[in-house]
Amino acid sequence: MFLNANATTDGEKSPCGVTVASGVSTDQGLVRRGNEDSYIARFPLFVVADGMGGHRAGEVASAKVIEEMSTHIPHGGFADSSDVLAALYYTTRSLSELGRSEGAPGSTMTGIVFSTHAELPCVRIFNIGDSRVYRYRSGELTQLTVDHTEYQELCALGFVESVFPEVMPRKHVLTKALGAGFGASFAIDQLTLPAVTGDRYLLCSDGLHGEVSDEVIMHILAGVQEPQEAAQCLVKSAIEAGGRDNVTVVVVDVCEAWPSSSSAEEMVIDADLGIVDGDTLPEDRAARWRTLVQMHEDNGM
């Protein structure tokens, strides 16, 4: 699917624009009874949401994410920054209203939206939970989002699986999500980068990265040219690796972006990543992790 945002005047190319191609694939996997993932792939908005809650509550929550985001970000052209902020705000508020207790419906959300900054086309990345955005560029795969899990917090504090086997059971315990009893106080991570011709973006639920290594993901993104075929190959790999969860993949190729600037290619326009450290962790969890570290040190481990 090819889409572009290059408004023209009298047939002339606009001074700022982008052309993209995208592909989508999703599967409920081999274990789950239904698929609680939802997605949208309609320029300028691309989102993957992984619902949770059981009894189809997760399906409702992830669908609500897509409904709110697509309602507040018009399709067809570049998104205004104000529209993006409004979409994130109303999505967070709407999901928090689904329930405020433990076990309430909730969802992760990860995505990109094409916008402009200083007359340059840009990609605005946003994330909450453990769904991910990757960028494949010139043979390198980069994870652009930070997982909001206890496992990530532990790793940031110096735990490693080989020394602290307690880390592994925390791998999929979320510390931030939309709804799910978390309320509306958590900020959604945001990062804005220039849109660069040739970049390939991958959005996925944890049903992909929980089953398939980054090396295999990179191999598929590098070797499969068409985004729709690449998305299908990634989902197939997740199913063949066990398919223990729903899996959803969106692949977005930046076919052309103009104007281009070598200085802009590595420039971070705006970043508000939720870096996990002792200052940003909720104090009860931070204290618990530090206590565990101290216990190991006292025991000479």
Domains, the chain = 2-146+182-274 (3.60.40.10)
**Residues sharing a CB contact under 8 Å with residue 171, sequence separation 6 or more, in sequence order:** 149, 150, 151
| Strand intervals (E) in the chain | 2-5, 17-27, 37-42, 45-52, 106-107, 109-117, 120-128, 132-137, 140-143, 178-179, 189-194, 200-204, 247-258, 270-272
Banded model confidence at residue 22, pLDDT cuts 50, 70, 90: very high
Scanning the structure block, which residue is given the tokens 């940003």?
Answer: 280
Taking every pair of Cα atoms in the chain, the longest distance, rounded to a whole number of angstroms, is: 75
Q: Say if residues 223 and 17 touch (Cβ distance below 8 Å).
A: no
Task: Please report the pLDDT score of residue 49 as a whole number.
Answer: 98
**What whole-number percentage of the chain has pLDDT above 90?**
62
As a whole number of angstroms, the distance between CA 44 and CA 46 comes to 7
Bigger pLDDT: 171 vs 90: 90
Task: Please report the pLDDT score of residue 285 as a whole number.
Answer: 52
Banded model confidence at residue 104, pLDDT cuts 50, 70, 90: confident
Picking from 9-18, 32-41, 104-113, 237-246, which range would have the lowest pLDDT averaged per residue? 9-18
